[in-house]
């Protein structure tokens, strides 16, 4: 099923004709019993689903396929392709920029608010081991990035993270769940130039810098920027919001600055002004200084040892200023991971931002065996909630897709090619209702549901106290979604 084209020893001997026949050979190899994922025991036909991406959408759908596909429908085999071999609970990443202190010795007034790797990263392989017991090997993990996908030949080239070799894999069905990255390669997501280890290293470097810094600048008025500033303010700021804990002692105080290119934070989501004002007030109360209507347009090393960063700020009033800091944390911008797909599959409009043109059935336009989910689909703004709602539809649709495929296989055999009845696919209902919960440190935050404000206590209860990490291990093991505990 998998061809390592860069290390194949007899490549140079293969005549051109054989090269042209490669797709056919790959198909034959796929259905042969000597597959690299092991012998299948059931008599149902084999079907390979490749899941691209191991984030909030990819990991659960890979589990669901392996757990829930009836053995008499299809001998489903899943190949999970992603650069990360650990599931990154990136919703808690804003807390991961802060050092994890030792509770017993810390002078930190709020205990240990920083999150280490144990709270943020969850090995993927152990959760899937149960599908590969005995002779039946139904799951395979490729640690690398898809670099091209040919929807007509049903092949994907994957560049492996270790060594950079390219492998070509064939699929019967593919799920594109490659999500998004944050600008400047920041470790709010798996970093674009690496995988789990590189993302951990990038976060560790920030923790080290934050520990010794006396001045930190965060740029970006979206959720990531507000949440990082909130975490920093909660630990190192000079004031406290509504809690009994004392403000940071003088020895621990740092100047925390948030630069936003609008009057108030959270503008990009269309949140109400009163909620944006609450976010700003909460940060200010924590001791975060907000520089509004300004954009960081350049960042250059400075200071005698080059350890400082001097930022250039362009104000909306036309004025330019500079700001020197010990640590600069850009939390601006998002790019969608669709570079490996043919241009015709992408929504190149300014709203689409090169996400995949996706039908309400969660199939890519033009290809019934290419499914798309999460941030990579152009249906809804990026959020875990939206990805989770899409998962509920995708899970049903993939089962219908497999049943239809199996019926077409047996129908073709029995009736000399007569098309069997098809199980209809469900449609995902998009919605304009804004749901936003933004933490400003472990003590709470603010948010909006429709036109209603979400009170800080509820944000604390639902999000801020653990940043969802209490669900992470079960989520990574395929036992649950955010709300659905019977996945």
Ligand X SMILES: Cc1cc2nc3c(=O)[nH]c(=O)nc-3n(C[C@H](O)[C@H](O)[C@H](O)COP(=O)(O)OP(=O)(O)OC[C@H]3O[C@@H](n4cnc5c(N)ncnc54)[C@H](O)[C@@H]3O)c2cc1C
| Number of other CB atoms surrounding residue 151 within 10 Å | 18
457 closest CA partner among 287, 246, 242 = 242
Q: For residue 83, state whether it binds ligand X (rule: CB under 6 A).
A: yes
- Which CB sits closer to ligand X, 109 or 342? 342
Residue 287 Cβ, how far from ligand X at the closest point, in Å? 21
Size of the site for ligand X (CB under 6 A): 37
Vertex 418: Cα angle to 415 and 420 (nearest 5):
105
Spatial distance between the Cα atoms of 292 and 264, rounded to a whole number of angstroms = 7
The answer to whether 322 and 313 have CB atoms below 8 angstroms apart is yes
Q: Is there binding between residue 425 and ligand X (CB under 6 A)?
A: no
Residue with Cβ nearer ligand X (56 or 236): 56
Helix (H) or strand (E) holding 145: strand 139-150
Measured CA to CA, the distance from residue 401 to residue 458 in angstroms comes to 40
Q: Which distant-in-sequence residues (6+ apart) come within 8 Å of 371 by Cβ? A: 173, 174, 175, 176, 362, 363, 364, 394, 397, 398, 401
Strands in 341-420 per DSSP E:
346-347, 355-356, 370-372
- Cβ at position 467, least distance to ligand X in Å: 7
Residue in 53, 99, 114, 444 binding ligand X, rule: CB under 6 A: 53
Residue 131-150 contact track with ligand X, rule CB under 6 A, x = bound? --------------xx----
Secondary structure letter of residue 417 according to DSSP: S
Nearer to ligand X, 388 or 404 (CB): 388
Q: Which of 190, 247, 248, 291 binds ligand X (CB under 6 A)?
A: 190
Asked whether position 446 contacts ligand X by CB under 6 A, the answer is no
Does 220 engage in binding with ligand X (CB under 6 A)? no
The CA distance from 164 to 228, in Å, is 34
Considering only 64, 76, 77, 94, the residue that binds ligand X (CB under 6 A) is 94
Report how far residue 376's alpha carbon sits from residue 199's, in angstroms, rounded to the nearest whole number. 21
- Out of 382, 471, 473, 474, which residue is the one contacting ligand X (CB under 6 A)? 382
Residue 330 CB-half CA count within 13 A: 18
* Residue 45 or 58 with smaller CB distance to ligand X: 58
Site for ligand X in 321-340 (CB under 6 A): 337, 340
Which of residues 275, 291, 384, 425 is near ligand X by CB under 6 A? Answer: 384
CA nearest to 82, candidates 60, 58, 47 = 58
Among 51, 61, 80, 81, binds ligand X (CB under 6 A): 81
CB of 300 to ligand X, least distance (A): 25
Using CB under 6 A, pick the residue from 385, 426, 453, 471 that binds ligand X: 385
Stretch that binds ligand X, among 166-174, 187-195, 244-252, 409-417 (CB under 6 A): 187-195
Nearer CB in complex with ligand X: 142/240 = 142
Q: What is the radius of gyration, based on Cα positions, of the chain? A: 25
287 binding ligand X? (CB under 6 A)? no
Residues that bind ligand X (CB under 6 A): 52-58, 81-84, 90-91, 93-94, 145-146, 177-180, 182, 188-190, 223-224, 337, 340, 374-376, 382-385, 387
């Amino acid at each position: 099923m998998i061809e390592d084209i860069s290390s194949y020893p007899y490549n140079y001997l293969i005549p051109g004709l054989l090269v042209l026949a490669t797709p056919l050979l790959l198909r034959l190899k796929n259905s042969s019993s000597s597959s690299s994922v092991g012998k299948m025991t059931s008599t149902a036909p084999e079907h390979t689903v490749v899941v691209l991406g191991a984030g909030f959408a990819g990991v659960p759908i890979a589990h669901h396929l392996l757990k829930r596909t009836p053995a008499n429908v299809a001998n489903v085999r899943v190949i999970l392709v992603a650069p990360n071999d650990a599931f990154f609970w990136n919703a808690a990443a804003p807390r991961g920029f802060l050092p994890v202190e030792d509770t017993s010795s810390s002078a930190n007034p709020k205990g240990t608010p920083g999150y280490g790797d144990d709270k943020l990263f969850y090995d993927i392989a152990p959760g899937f081991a149960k599908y590969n017991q005995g002779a039946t090997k139904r799951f395979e993990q490729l640690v690398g990035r898809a670099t091209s996908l040919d929807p007509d030949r049903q092949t994907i080239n994957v560049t492996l993270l270790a060594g950079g070799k390219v492998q070509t894999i064939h699929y019967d069905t593919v799920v594109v769940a490659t999500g998004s990255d944050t600008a400047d390669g920041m470790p709010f997501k798996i970093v674009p130039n690496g995988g789990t280890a590189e993302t951990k290293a990038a976060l560790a470097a920030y923790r080290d810098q934050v520990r010794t810094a006396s001045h930190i600048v965060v740029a970006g008025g979206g959720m990531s920027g507000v949440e990082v500033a909130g975490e920093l303010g909660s630990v190192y700021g000079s004031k406290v919001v509504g809690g009994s804990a004392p403000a940071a002692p003088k020895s621990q105080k740092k100047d925390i600055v948030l630069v936003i290119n609008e009057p108030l934070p959270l503008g990009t989501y269309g949140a109400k002004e009163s909620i944006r004002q609450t976010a700003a007030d909460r940060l200010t109360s924590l001791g975060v200084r907000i520089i509004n209507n300004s954009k960081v347009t350049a960042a250059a090393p400075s200071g005698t040892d080059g350890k400082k960063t001097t930022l250039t700020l362009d104000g909306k009033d036309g004025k330019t200023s500079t700001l020197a800091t010990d640590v600069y944390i850009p939390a601006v911008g998002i790019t969608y991971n669709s570079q490996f797909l043919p241009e015709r599959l992408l929504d190149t409009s300014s709203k689409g931002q090169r996400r995949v043109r996706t039908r309400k059935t969660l199939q890519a336009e033009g290809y019934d065996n290419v499914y798309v989910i999460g941030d990579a689909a152009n249906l809804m703004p990026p959020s875990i909630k939206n990805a989770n709602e899409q998962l509920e539809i995708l899970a049903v649709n993939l089962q219908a897709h497999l049943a239809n495929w199996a019926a077409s296989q047996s129908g073709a055999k029995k009736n000399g090619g007569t098309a069997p009845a098809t199980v209809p696919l469900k449609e995902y209902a998009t919605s304009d209702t804004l749901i936003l919960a933004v933490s400003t440190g472990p003590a709470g935050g603010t948010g909006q549901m429709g036109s209603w404000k979400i009170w800080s206590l509820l944000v604390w209860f639902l999000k801020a106290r653990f940043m969802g990490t209490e669900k992470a291990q079960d989520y990574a093991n395929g036992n649950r979604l955010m709300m659905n505990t019977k996945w």
